[in-house]
Amino acid sequence: MHKYSVFWIKEEFHYNYFYKPDILYRFLNEYVNNSIPSKYLDSQFNYITHTISYNSLLEHLRQYHNYQININASSNRMDCNIGDKSLNIYIKRRNLVIESNSVEEVDTLVFQPLKNISSSFFVIELGTTNSGWITPVKKEVLL
């Protein structure tokens, strides 16, 4: 089972930390795994991340998949499937936790739709040190 935590990083920090994902990983990993509440960590986390709207995410997933995705939604969870692909999304205020049997399922069902919203989503594969941006920054052509 693959588990991912997804954060929507504000553009300013996406731009400034795009080439420093290790720093962002350490901070977010510490925040997620910190069992002792910390006002300092909370304020920093809230400062660099966007809130993720449950209803907006639900509607965006449905629209992206042309309403062919089946989503069983509850207060903070979505069970999603299309054909033989399925996964679970747990929605927190400022991040998502996704459980799936394969990377391909997560990419097809969630990452591709998120790329349409913004390129500033940061993903951590829980239980590993794998992390990175959902999509690379577009290269600019200098004339």
* pLDDT mean across residues, the chain: 92
Confidence of residue 36 (pLDDT cuts 50, 70, 90): confident
pLDDT, one tens digit per residue, over 60-84 is 999 999 999 999 999 899 999 999 9
Is 141 domain-assigned?
A: no
Is 140 domain-assigned?
A: no
Is 60 domain-assigned?
A: yes
Is 127 domain-assigned?
A: yes
Is 143 domain-assigned?
A: no
Is 53 domain-assigned?
A: yes
* CATH code, domain with 55: 3.30.310.250
Is 138 domain-assigned?
A: no
CA angle 81, 86, 88 (to 5 degrees): 100
Query: pTM of the predicted model, to two decimals?
Result: 0.90
Q: How many structural domains compose the chain?
A: 1
Q: Give the domain range for residue 28.
A: 2-133
**Helices (DSSP H) in 21-123: which residue ranges?**
21-33, 39-48, 54-64, 103-106, 112-117
pLDDT, one tens digit per residue, over 82-139 is 999 999 999 998 999 999 999 999 999 999 999 999 999 999 999 999 999 998 555 5
Is 55 domain-assigned?
A: yes
| φ, ψ at 47 (rounded to 5°) | -70, -35
Q: Tell me the residue type at 27.
A: F
Percent of the chain at pLDDT > 90 equals: 87
What is the separation of C-alpha 44 from the centre of its chain, rounded to a whole number of angstroms? 18
